[in-house]
Amino acid sequence: MKRIWSLAILVFGVALSAFLLVACGGSKVDDSAALAAHRWKAVIVTGMSAANGQPLTAAFEGGTVTGSTGINQYRGIYETRLGNGISIKIGPMTRAAGTPEAMKLEEAYTTALGQAASYRVDASKLTLLDSSGTELVIYGVYKPAALTGAQWMCTMYNNGRGAFQSVATSSTITASFGDDGKMSGRGGVNEYNTTYTTSGNTISIAPPVATRLAGPQDLMDQEGAYFAAIANASTYVIEGSNLTLRAADGAALAGYVAK
């Protein structure tokens, strides 16, 4: 009888320890390597579809999270804990505006990131959850287009006066990046050629050499501003079918969409 009682106490102790381990979040699961293994694209944000429009993305690496809200680029910090706990704090963001629907999705996305308390991840899917276990953001693996091999149509450019504005509808500005380090395209009036180098997401573009056709003054001014903008590029970001060239201070210089 004494032996049975001792065995019962042992079993109860093991069960109690297991319960306390789970209740106190003491799981030793650590999937942080899988979290950082991919760049992620949001599919669902707080029950809303994120499949339309520009991609909402996240990349987790070494305590830094970066990505796109579909409108703006963001940067922040994150911390993971045993048991796949996570906390995310969004820092600097660009300040572009979008459609009301896109702005609503952006707000929901950034709020959800700040509310994340845990995550589930495998080779193809990442889910962020709040403290009650409710799913906040569901991601799939994100594979952006390559810089080379695409014909890029410019939709936005920095006019040199502090504004990032749309390309005139009466003109077409393009860019192609070759594997040989050569870049070419249309400036809106003239054809241009130049060279470029990349390392990681940094880029350097030499001042373009263009043909000498004349056009309407507004298009000539636009072309001049575009050439000056790309020659100041320091980094580039590809989000799905969108490419953005940025200055060293993060200012957007030219925005493209793959044709």
pTM confidence score? 0.58
124 token code pair: 């193809």
pLDDT in tens, the chain (259 residues): 445 444 444 444 444 444 444 444 446 899 999 999 998 999 999 999 998 777 899 999 999 998 889 888 889 999 999 999 999 999 988 777 778 898 999 999 999 999 999 999 999 999 999 999 999 999 999 887 789 988 999 999 999 998 899 999 999 999 999 999 999 999 999 999 999 999 988 999 999 999 999 999 999 999 999 999 999 999 998 877 789 999 998 889 999 988 8
Contact indicator for 118, 220 with CB cutoff of 8 Å: no
Alpha helices, H only, 50-124: 100-115
Fold of 32-141: Lipocalin (2.40.128)
Furthest C-alpha separation in the chain: 104
Contact indicator for 226, 210 with CB cutoff of 8 Å: no
Domains 32-141 and 151-258 share a fold: yes
Report the alpha-carbon angle 151-94-226, nearest 5: 40
State the DSSP code for 199: E
Given the structure tokens 């044709």, which residue do they identify? 259
State the DSSP code for 116: -
Residues pairing with 167 in the sheet:
none
Which of 36, 60, 42, 33 lies closest to 110 in space, CA to CA?
A: 42
Antiparallel, parallel or unpaired: β 57-61 and 39-45: antiparallel
Pairwise CA distance, residues 128 & 18, whole Å? 25
State the pLDDT at residue 55: 84
Report the alpha-carbon angle 90-94-97, nearest 5: 115
Which of 191, 176, 245, 195 lies closest to 223 in space, CA to CA?
A: 191
Contact indicator for 111, 105 with CB cutoff of 8 Å: no
| Boundaries of every domain in the chain | 32-141, 151-258
Give the 3-state secondary structure of 212-224.
Answer: CCCCCHHHHHHHH
Pairwise CA distance, residues 84 & 129, whole Å? 10
Q: Quick check: helix, strand or coil at residue 94?
A: coil
Q: Which CATH architecture has domain 151-258?
A: Beta Barrel (2.40)
Pairwise CA distance, residues 183 & 198, whole Å? 12
Contact indicator for 53, 242 with CB cutoff of 8 Å: no
